[in-house]
A and B are shown apart, each in its own frame.
Chain A
């Protein structure tokens, strides 16, 4: 007769990078049912967004999450620009693309390092983060900060890039690409790593669409959906295709993120080579009124902002739908049937970012 135990996994656990609690019902090492318990990081950001003036909300919204902070700022600026009826100039659109893609690169490198750490492979974790340090130095030299880069503003961007900064960025990216090519086979072609990720946490394409998964979690199951194909900012003029894998297990999700690193470096090169001349900001005027929706591809998936203005300088409602909010229910279907030792790896493979989830 199997013995049933209910085990709380999290919110503090050596392998779990985020503060989420999963109540797992175990029957002798096999998982029966999983219930998530959220609420450890709820800060009430949607309520604070109604009390601030609308230009100050840009600084509030960037601090929802550290790893995808530039994309939150970009989505808020795009939504409020629709309410005010202004559009950023072309040079600002290209610079927004460059900084968003640099942010995506640092986020994927962070995740690859955490994956290596989840297996206990700490030296590889440190090596991948050494490559990430080069990207952080580029961000600090061009935008001013390492983590919360704060370059988006209503109507454009706040800083410009000089020609020698562009050249320095391109040289750093070439070095990153060379080092990534040298270090990625260690994690993606290793026998032990494959034994722990291939076939674990399988999500079919039909399940992924029905549960509402987004981002690399969806693309690793064979569905080619990427919000960048709608052509916001300057993406409509760049040349790229979504990165898709067919297997749907944790290994496929790791491969999708690794291939997206190379796609990102290529996108930044295209954008920097086509950078047009001009100003970097169109000043906003007036108060926001009406309703607007903006969607952006954050490193973890689709990020949606729905803002409602009422003609005063405060917004009426600011609704944020973050990608991990859509990916957490997939855990409830991936985990039952797996073994308990696979839970950290499967939870990490959807790339949880709980501070985004419970703003």
Chain B
């Protein structure tokens, strides 16, 4: 059904992504701040086994990204000593994914957006065994 016309194109991806380890995160962010980069936000993606955390920066309308991959029960250092306004995005990751972040200057203890009646972090993917048991969400 028209398969002959389908070109094999590469998957679209974002440019300027730099992979860093957890222990090099704060020094690298300090280097970016010294160059005058503006902090945009962080994104957390749950790919089943681990969390992939992206940090997005901008310098005169050009984007740069840092990528840190960690396990679900590890803790990340907070970048609020360098960028004060990061506490909003990092608290949101704590609430919605249950990701542990240490050293926040303003810490809402996981209750900034999510109230006490919610039992588990809402945006985590369920484990594969739970999904097979018919819990379709």
Contacts and interface: CB of A to CB of B under 8 A. Distances in A.
B87 A329 contact: yes
A306 B89 CA distance: 14
Contact of B13 (A39, A51, A291): A291
A154 B85 CA distance: 34
A120 B11 CA distance: 55
A326 B89 CA distance: 9
Given A210-B84, A329-B84, A290 B13 contact: yes
Interface in A309-328: 316-317, 319, 321, 325-326, 328
Interface in A136-161: none
Interface in A62-83: 82-83
Interface string B31-73: 0010010111101010000000010100011010000000000
Contact of B112 (A39, A225, A290, A308): A39
Contacts of B13: 290-291
Nearest to B47: A316
Chain A residues touching B, range: 35 or more
Contacts of A46: 96, 123
Interface in B82-129: 83-85, 87-89, 96, 106, 111-115, 122-123
B112 A326 contact: no
Contact of B43 (A302, A319, A328, A329): A319
Contacts of B56: 293, 304, 306, 321
Interface residues of B, number: 34
A158 B56 CA distance: 33
A274 interface: no
B9 interface: yes
A230 B61 contact: yes
A326 B88 CA distance: 9
Contacts of A85: 9, 12
B38 A42 contact: no
A211 B11 CA distance: 34
A217 interface: no
Contacts of B45: 308, 316-317
B4 interface: no
A288 to B, nearest CB: 9
Contact of B88 (A227, A292, A316, A328): A328
A306 B55 CA distance: 12
A35 interface: yes
B43 A211 contact: no
Interface string A79-112: 0001101000000000000000000000000000
B29 to A, nearest CB: 13
A237 to B, nearest CB: 18
Interface of B: 9, 11-14, 33, 36, 38-41, 43, 45, 54, 56, 60-61, 63, 83-85, 87-89, 96, 106, 111-115, 122-123, 137
